[in-house]
């Protein structure tokens, strides 16, 4: 079976830019819009990845997941109504809000979805910062006071990553992306985000964006103090119950295949190209028992699998 590719969905965001066009040579739908997100792999009620060509051209990811699961994905996978992974590319020209996603044990109470995710830094301006976890000495009491007086940023830990770094964001971890990043995000299939602080920004009418203070305080892990970036000297970047992400650097002519031929994987091309037709930035579904993909040049890829 051949590799399967999908048409990305482009989402306008107030913090977006046009790096998808300049770095990945994408033909964006509207030349006047700043697109903050490309949803590369998505299976939600209001958003579907559609196969671009081949045997399954025109079919949705949900159709493949429901009606062709064994032949494409393999067996012993999660018995879920929707494909369990969502992959995005984030183009951040301005800082995102400081936010948190709900842990699984709180989702029913808060009427949300759990969201554990990871970031791979595809590009970063010098000095660009990620905001992650809390500083030493921060407590819930101090945090609540900071919400009231607008000084939340003073309690949030910041790090300065470089291109090629990665970071794991488990549900409950406070986080925000600063300005100047292009990031590949691998996450649970969820769109629940609680904003706790938006840098005291207002729109042209003096209105602030909606915050979710009560939900955020219920979700934040106040013991998550000054977390660090993932180690850059290992192949496996993240191994959690929801996904496993590995980084591979391929020489010209070297191939990559599913680690288990009876199950699928997702391949995101970070740099270089595969099979001369899959350029950097593209995410590919490699069905079970499919032929390996070959590096057309020096190529780096992320490979994402679901734990069985």
Q: Give the pLDDT score at 234.
A: 75
Give the mean pLDDT of the chain. 96
> What digits encode the pLDDT tens for the residues 219-241?
999 999 999 987 666 799 999 99
Q: Give the pLDDT score at 142.
A: 98
Tokens read off for 194: 């609680």
181 φψ region: left (φ > 0), alpha (ψ -120 to 50), beta (else)? beta
Residue of 18, 173, 195, 201 with catalytic role? 195
Q: Give the pLDDT score at 233.
A: 67
69 is a catalytic site residue = no
| Residue 99 CB coordination number (10 Å) | 21
The Cα 169–Cα 261 span in angstroms is 29
Over residues 66-70, the mean pLDDT reads: 97
Q: Give the pLDDT score at 123.
A: 96
The Cα 276–Cα 265 span in angstroms is 19
Question: Strand 166-169's sheet: what is its strand order?
Answer: 9-17, 35-41, 85-92, 181-188, 117-124, 166-169
In the chain the domains, ranked by start, together with CATH numbers, are 4-49+77-219 (2.60.120.10), 236-305 (2.60.120.10)
Asked if pLDDT for residue 53 goes beyond 80, the answer is yes
Asked if pLDDT for residue 38 goes beyond 70, the answer is yes
> What digits encode the pLDDT tens for the residues 150-206?
999 999 999 999 999 999 999 999 999 999 999 999 999 999 999 999 999 887 788
């Amino acid at each position: 079976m051949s590799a399967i590719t999908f048409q990305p969905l482009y989402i306008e965001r107030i913090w977006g830019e046009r790096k998808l066009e300049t770095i990945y040579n994408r033909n964006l739908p509207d030349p006047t819009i700043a697109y903050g997100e490309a949803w590369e792999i998505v299976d939600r009620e209001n958003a579907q990845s559609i196969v671009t060509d081949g045997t399954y051209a025109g079919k949705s990811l949900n159709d493949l997941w429901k009606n062709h699961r064994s032949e494409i994905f393999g067996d012993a996978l999660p018995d879920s109504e929707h494909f369990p992974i969502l992959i995005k590319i984030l183009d951040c020209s301005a800082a995102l809000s400081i936010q948190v996603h709900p842990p699984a044990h709180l989702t029913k109470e808060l009427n949300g979805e759990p969201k554990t995710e990871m970031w791979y830094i595809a590009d970063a301006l010098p000095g660009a910062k990620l905001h992650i976890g809390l500083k030493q000495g921060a407590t819930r009491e101090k945090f609540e006071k900071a919400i009231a007086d607008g000084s939340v940023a003073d309690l949030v830990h910041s790090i300065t990553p470089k291109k090629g770094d990665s970071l794991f964001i488990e549900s409950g971890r406070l986080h925000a992306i600063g300005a100047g990043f292009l990031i590949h995000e691998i996450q649970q299939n969820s769109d629940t985000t609680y904003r706790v602080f938006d840098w005291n920004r207002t729109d042209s009418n003096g209105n602030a964006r909606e915050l979710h203070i009560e939900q955020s305080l219920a979700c934040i892990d106040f013991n998550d103090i000054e977390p660090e970036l993932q180690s850059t000297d290992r192949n496996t970047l993240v191994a959690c119950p929801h996904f496993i992400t590995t980084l591979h650097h391929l020489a010209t002519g070297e191939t990559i295949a599913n680690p288990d031929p009876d199950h699928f994987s997702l391949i995101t091309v970070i740099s270089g190209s595969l099979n001369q037709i899959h350029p950097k930035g593209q995410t590919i579904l490699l069905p079970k028992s499919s032929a390996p993909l070959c590096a057309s040049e020096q190529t780096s890829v992320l490979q994402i699998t679901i734990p069985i």
